[in-house]
Chains A and B, each alone.
Chain A
Amino acid sequence: MEHLQTLTWTDAWYLAPEVTLSIATIVLALLDLVLPRRINRDIIGWLTLAGLLASAVFVVWLMFDFKDLEGAAQVHTLVGGSYRIDDFGNLLKLVFIGASAFIVFSSLGTVRDEEIPIKGEFYYLLLPAVLGAMVMSSSGDLITLFVGLELLSITSYILVAARKNASQSSEAAFKYVVTGGVASAFILYGMSFLYGVIGSTNLADIMSGMQGAMESSEALIYVSLFLMTAGFAAKLALAPFHVWASDVYQGAPTPVTAFLAVVAKGAAFAMLYRIFFMFMTYFTLNTDGVMKHDVFLALAVLSAAAMIVGTAGALRQRNVKRLLALSGVANAGILLIPLALDLTRLHSSVFSEFIYYLIAYAVMNIGAFSVLTIVARSAGNETISGFAGLYHRAPWTAAGMTILLCSLAGLPVTGGFFGKLFILFATVQTKTYWLAAILLVTTVVSYAVYFSFIRQMYLRSGEVDSGLRLSWPAAVSIWLCVAGTLVLGFLPKPILEWIDKLFELPFDMLVS
């Protein structure tokens, strides 16, 4: 093993987004301690937002700074390739930061002290969580990846428990700790096999060492892959590893639920894509192995199971957060599809499809959760009947929610529709027809799930007559989500082309 490269001051520039978040976390933590109790902690929320935006500015800066004269992207690696600044990472970072910013923004003025007594912590703890997600999307080394994963996970455990007075919240946090720990254990165990066989944790080294390792100890690689698959499946809440999701989503404060559904899930996907894409590339270059088919098949089966179980489970669910948790299970299945498709069969736009749908998924989920926060507050419960007669109480919010639901259901012209459509095209292109069929059938069944909201909103008369109280940040973020959904629906082609152009696949992901 080569000697460890140390971090230099010039490298710090490339880490500016991460460093910003770290500093912001520390400053805000101190501020929260120093500030007298009577001061509303919303100020910390605004500062959290500012920290996130500053970090986002740096990410964008880096993205453009990295273009050389011809406009082609460049990759910068730090610390012996254990950290990579590339377009894949940068784009995902933007998604994570943006999603978190939306969540913070819509919580401002909505989250009350009675619900979350530790409002200050609630806000600033999102920062290390996002930092963990960013590390996960930007790492080229198993250890860095795992550190990022744990940073995100542990912060999330705390956030889930933020409703300190509600036993449901503590229970959810406990379950999340246990299942999250089990998942981490699976992943770490799988990684250790890989390290044992190849002798390196660096993804580039692993790839170059695969050939030899496959010859000497194929079975161990097999075991490693399956253990990691199981761990990620649990993190992503893919069926049958999804059971924790409903409990945790229900127990957590709604903004945290949104965070789990969007950022935590997206980050786990980022890590999964990082690691598995390396395997995919290896398999693509060495087409003879039987293992290749097994891995593709395992992922495809998991994705199919998630779509079926998530959709079927959501059908009978009355609690909206549990319902959205199951909808998230189905959507995780869809997000997994691009990776589960055989790359050798003319399918190179894996990342465009994945990121496009991830963005659409993020936008529609955050919007839906924001609406849910307000509606549940007004109705006093989180069941679907809380939406009854929403159209008569708050016609505009109902209209916005309808658009978000259409996107979730995958109806044109919304981001969700085109996201699903692109992924469907990919399945057909690679002749994975059975997966395409499952995607279509579950989509159709999911109409019943989402239309039950619409039925409640328009056709039922609610018991609550009063109008909906909507704080202006919540209203703005809901409408930004709706607008984003529609923009993704109306301009799918330019956006997809832009993502396509942004990363040239081999350059960004192939760890050379």
Chain B
Amino acid sequence: MSTSFAEYAWLVPVFPLAAFAILTAMGKGARKTGPWIGIIGTLASLVLSLCIAFERMTDNADDYSKSIEWLQVGSLKLSAGFEVTNLTSLMLVVVTLVSFLVNVYSQGYMRDDDRISTFFAYVALFTSSMLGLVLSDNLLTFYIFWELVGVCSFLLVGFWYHKPEAKAAAKKAFIVTRIGDLGLLIALLLLFWYMPDHALDFTTIHNVFSTPGGVISVGITTLIALLIFVGAVGKSGQFPLHTWLPDAMEGPTPISALIHAATMVAAGVFLVARTFPIFEASDAAMTTVAVIGAFTAIFAASIGLAQNDIKRILAYSTVSQLGYMMLALGVGSVSAAMFHLFTHAFFKALLFLGAGSVIHGAHTQDIREMGGLGKTMKITAWTFGIGALALSGIPPFAGFWSKDAILAAALDKNGILFAVGAIAAFFTALYMARLYFLVFAGKPKQDGHAHESPSVMTVPLIVLAILSVVAGFVDTPFKGWLGEWLTGEAPEHHGSGIVMVVSVAVGLLGIYIGWLVYVKGTVRRDAVSSRAPALVRTLERKYYIDELYDLLIVKPLRSFGKALQAFDDYIVDGVVRLAGYSTSALGRLNSRLQSGQVQTYALTALIGIVILALAIAGRRFW
């Protein structure tokens, strides 16, 4: 193979970057052309990504990587480069596809925004950073792009900076993920320290940690793995750093779809998958990942039951689904995790864009104020329904197959993890049923001015809906094509008959109960809240995690900061003032001495030497 598309993979992030540069150069004037530049940039990336992915599918190509020496200090070498593997090419397709659709959708959704070209510039920069992150062949450049992604997220969440909530949310997203980033940075430094030749590229990491009894001790390996996981927890909104993700829904809805559902939050999962050999080398780290993942899955799903903001429900569902992915990684199945990432990207983007369409039409985000929208917004209702079914894990939709793979892998490892996952799946089906029936079924609660969105918004919905139906078939228990392609190993078929039955059963049960409560009315809506108001309240308040953080971390830190400020104001500044004052007093004394009288000068010299001699010689007699 003389030339391949993989050799040009570096162009994938360059297209959106160029779009960003052009958009920035054009300034705010480009209201009409701006969106098109963003769309064309991502379309070019998408086409190239698809070419790369198809090329890799046809013949089982070798991984392609190319790097240049970036800088050399002494014997220390840092390189920068890109690597195309099956895993990265899959991610490229997911990121570019979702990004492209979001771009198209935003053209309609953001039409009336004053800063539409700025919006598209940010989105292009974000896409470029994310693609750079995916392509990086070493942890250092990965980290740089990781931070860039964080910055873009900050800019986009706070895009409507005139809203105080948006500002607060942007700040929160940035600060909370920074905690995770710090973990990743420390992990990076540790790796740099311990790796032979200070190598940070993924291939060497893979080789070093895959050899049993390797150069790096188990303790350090566990430490590094856990610190990397801290980074992933921050970015992927896992417990206990999940609090930023629901708040980040203050950003424009397409951003929620792009960043906080399909791509950026997947970066954490991707990071763990990319550095998976380090995790595999440490049982403790694997267990931690699995437990945190499973806990986050059920924890966030239960919160989702009691929320009323349509985007918040979806946000908690994202947190929960990312928990599933972590669970899959923790039980050792990269392919299941990536599979779920792949399908989830489509149906979650679909759900968010659908929610955007709903908000666009209903002008509210509170699901209690909606109802009967299915009649006026047919396309949205249908596509949203497909997304909801996919999320709930109902066959044959995409989510079923990937969730099934995860549950099967969990059952293989540990019954409890499986049970937790199954219960979370039940919750998922229940809150999605609640959401769907409240929004689309029943009688309209508003005057009938809800309307269907323009086709520029509905077409992406339809594309994503189709993908949400078919994406699952790339890896079914009957034909595990994706797993084989990703890992290069023949897939092992877990005894998944029982898993499938359980999975379908809890999904259907959840929907049925939802139907009973919210459509048929057989069970009263306040059946639970009247009997256990405390429970519902706790869920509504998201287990009081935010309040807990405020009490335990924010308040003490703030008072600590106040104390430091007082210290700075009075002690430090006081010392500085005192030093300044005494120095200039000394200077004044010096000018007094310089009277211009030469007799004084001679006298000073004489007194000086006498004092010096007396002091030096005299100290012996003290």
Q: Footprint of B on A, CB under 8 Å?
A: 174-175, 178-179, 182-183, 186, 222, 226-227, 229-230, 233-234, 239-241, 243-244, 246-247, 290, 294, 297-298, 301-302, 308-309, 311-317, 326, 445
**Contact in complex: B594, A312 (CB < 8 Å):** no
A161 CB to nearest chain B CB (Å): 15
Could you tell me the dominant secondary structure of chain B's interface residues?
Answer: helix
**Contact in complex: A313, B604 (CB < 8 Å):** no
**Contact in complex: B586, A308 (CB < 8 Å):** yes
A186-B609, A226-B609, A239-B608 given; name 13 further pairs at CB < 8 Å.
A175-B598, A229-B612, A230-B605, A233-B605, A234-B605, A243-B593, A308-B586, A312-B586, A312-B590, A313-B591, A315-B583, A315-B584, A316-B588
Find residues 575-622 in chain B having any chain A CB closer than 8 Å to their own CB. 583-584, 586-588, 590-591, 593-594, 596, 598, 600-602, 604-605, 607-609, 612-613, 615-617, 620
Select one of A174, A244, A301 contacting B612, CB under 8 A: A301
- Supposing A230-B605, A309-B586 touch, asked if A178 and B612 sit within 8 A by C-beta, the answer is no
**Contact in complex: B608, A241 (CB < 8 Å):** yes
B393 CB to nearest chain A CB (Å): 63
- Tell me the complex Cα distance, A22–B588, Å: 45
A421 CB to nearest chain B CB (Å): 20
The number of residue pairs between A and B whose CB atoms lie closer than 8 Å in the complex comes to: 86
B512 CB to nearest chain A CB (Å): 74
Which A residues are in CB contact (< 8 Å) with B612? 226, 229-230, 298, 301-302
A315 CB to nearest chain B CB (Å): 5
Which B residues are in CB contact (< 8 Å) with A230? 605, 608-609, 612
Tier of interface size on chain B: 20 to 34
Interchain residue pairs A-B with the least CB separation, the first 9 = A230-B609, A313-B590, A312-B586, A316-B587, A240-B608, A243-B601, A241-B605, A312-B587, A175-B598
**Contact in complex: B605, A240 (CB < 8 Å):** yes
**Contact in complex: A298, B590 (CB < 8 Å):** no
Could you tell me the dominant secondary structure of chain A's interface residues?
Answer: helix
**Contact in complex: B609, A316 (CB < 8 Å):** no
- Supposing A178-B602, A179-B601, A182-B602 touch, asked if A243 and B616 sit within 8 A by C-beta, the answer is no
Which B residues are in CB contact (< 8 Å) with A314? 587
- Tell me the complex Cα distance, A226–B611, Å: 11
- Tell me the complex Cα distance, A227–B610, Å: 10
- Tell me the complex Cα distance, A71–B584, Å: 53
**Contact in complex: A247, B596 (CB < 8 Å):** yes
Look across to chain B and name the residue whose beta carbon is closest to the beta carbon of A441. B579
Which A residues are in CB contact (< 8 Å) with B615? 301
Which B residues are in CB contact (< 8 Å) with A298? 612, 616
A156 CB to nearest chain B CB (Å): 16
- Supposing A294-B617, A309-B590 touch, asked if A243 and B604 sit within 8 A by C-beta, the answer is yes
- Tell me the complex Cα distance, A297–B620, Å: 13
- Tell me the complex Cα distance, A312–B605, Å: 19
Look across to chain A and name the residue whose beta carbon is closest to the beta carbon of B601. A243
A367 CB to nearest chain B CB (Å): 25
**Contact in complex: B584, A312 (CB < 8 Å):** yes
**Contact in complex: A312, B602 (CB < 8 Å):** no
**Contact in complex: A244, B598 (CB < 8 Å):** yes
- Tell me the complex Cα distance, A182–B593, Å: 18
**Contact in complex: A182, B587 (CB < 8 Å):** no
Look across to chain A and name the residue whose beta carbon is closest to the beta carbon of B593. A243
A289 CB to nearest chain B CB (Å): 12
Select one of B590, B598, B604, B608 contacting A174, CB under 8 A: B598
- Tell me the complex Cα distance, A316–B585, Å: 9
Which A residues are in CB contact (< 8 Å) with B600? 243
Which B residues are in CB contact (< 8 Å) with A241? 604-605, 608-609
**Contact in complex: B613, A226 (CB < 8 Å):** yes
Select one of A239, A297, A311, A313 contacting B616, CB under 8 A: A297
Which A residues are in CB contact (< 8 Å) with B584? 312, 315-316
